[in-house]
């Protein structure tokens, strides 16, 4: 007598060995204690992580440090600012801004621009468009704190800084150097060293160039000379945090590859014991 085949769906109960192969992670599931994902379903886990939780991978970073505020305040005088027209590029106040200190020195006008509206922003404008928006020799002072590392087309931005600055005008810039981890706002591309600033701003009169003693970074105060001739930067490369080597430009492929690598690294770090996470982060995201 043949047995009747059971066509009803079978429920597979987790064995003891399966339970050892399951990971308890602080997301997913419906319980208050988080969800469980089996290592047998690693593809589903990775897909779930990349699609559902990718927004939290890029935490907003500190844009204007205490050192930025202090070094700008100590380097800029009333003579530099009073009665002058000032442009701040990347002016959105996330966690501090040099603007209040500069405004106490009584500029004739202070215009803050950024990619999106918010505190400190008078005009929504891309830094790559300020040459067309304002024209040449439009400002006595141009300020940019913690912007250049986020500028994919950094050569265009630097050109614009110099272009809208009047002869005798003052340029103030801070940015980050190698050793600072990847940070969004809205993305992160470059790290600048003192040798880079020496060359990039060699067509200006450098009055002050300092290294940040608290976190790898740079400050420069430079003036546009009467005999200004712009330096050709087309062949100059910077350290790319996307590719972890010097590059002249950031390509679309660089960005795609980095996003994939970054998300996988973050997943790996969540799975690793805490004592290993910092070493992985420093080794792969700088």
Tokens of 122: 């008078």
Q: pLDDT tens-digit profile of 160-173?
A: 999 999 999 999 99
Instruction: Label the pairing between strands 123-124 and 109-114.
Output: parallel
Over residues 216-225, the mean pLDDT reads 97
How many angstroms separate the Cα of 258 from the Cα of each of 56, 176, 243, 278, 279?
A: 16, 19, 7, 19, 19
DSSP letter, residue 11? P
Q: pLDDT tens-digit profile of 242-262?
A: 888 999 999 999 888 888 887
Diameter of the chain by CA atoms? 105
Residue 120: predicted pLDDT: 94
- pTM for the whole thing? 0.73
Rounded CA separation 158/262 (Å): 28
Better-scored residue on pLDDT, 186 or 260: 260
Residue partners of 258: CB distance under 8 A and separation at least 6: 242, 243
Rounded CA separation 259/265 (Å): 10
Tokens of 181: 């981890």
In the chain, the domains with their CATH numbers are 66-245 (3.40.50.150)
If you compute the radius of gyration of the chain from its CA atoms, what whole number of angstroms results? 25
Residue 50: predicted pLDDT: 37
Q: pLDDT tens-digit profile of 57-109?
A: 333 333 677 888 899 999 999 999 999 999 999 999 888 899 999 999 999 99
Rounded CA separation 33/286 (Å): 34
């Amino acid at each position: 007598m043949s047995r009747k085949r059971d066509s009803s769906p079978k429920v597979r109960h987790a064995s003891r060995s399966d339970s050892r192969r399951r990971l308890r992670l602080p997301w997913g599931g419906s319980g208050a204690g988080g969800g469980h994902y089996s290592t047998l379903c690693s593809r589903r886990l990775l897909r779930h992580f990349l699609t559902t939780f990718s927004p939290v991978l890029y935490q907003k970073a500190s844009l204007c440090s205490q050192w930025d505020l202090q070094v700008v305040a100590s380097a800029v005088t009333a003579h530099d600012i009073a009665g002058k027209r000032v442009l701040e590029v990347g002016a959105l106040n996330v966690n501090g801004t040099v603007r209040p200190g500069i405004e106490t020195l009584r500029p004739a006008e202070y215009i803050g621009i950024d990619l999106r509206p918010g505190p400190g922003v008078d005009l929504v404008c891309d830094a790559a468009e300020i040459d067309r928006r304002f024209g040449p020799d439009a400002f006595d002072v141009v300020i940019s704190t913690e912007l250049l590392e986020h500028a994919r087309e950094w050569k265009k931005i630097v050109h614009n800084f110099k272009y809208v600055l009047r002869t005798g005008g003052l340029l103030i810039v801070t940015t980050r150097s190698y050793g600072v981890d990847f940070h969004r706002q809205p993305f992160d591309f470059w790290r600048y060293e003192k040798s880079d600033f020496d060359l990039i701003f060699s067509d200006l009169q450098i009055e002050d160039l300092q290294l940040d003693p608290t976190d790898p970074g740079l400050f420069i105060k430079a003036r546009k000379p009467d005999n200004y001739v712009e330096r050709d930067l087309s062949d100059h490369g910077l350290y790319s945090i996307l590719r972890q080597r010097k590059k002249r430009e950031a390509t679309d492929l660089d960005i795609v590859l980095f996003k994939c690598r970054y998300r996988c690294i973050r997943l790996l770090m969540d799975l690793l014991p805490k004592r290993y996470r910092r070493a992985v982060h420093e080794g792969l995201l700088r």
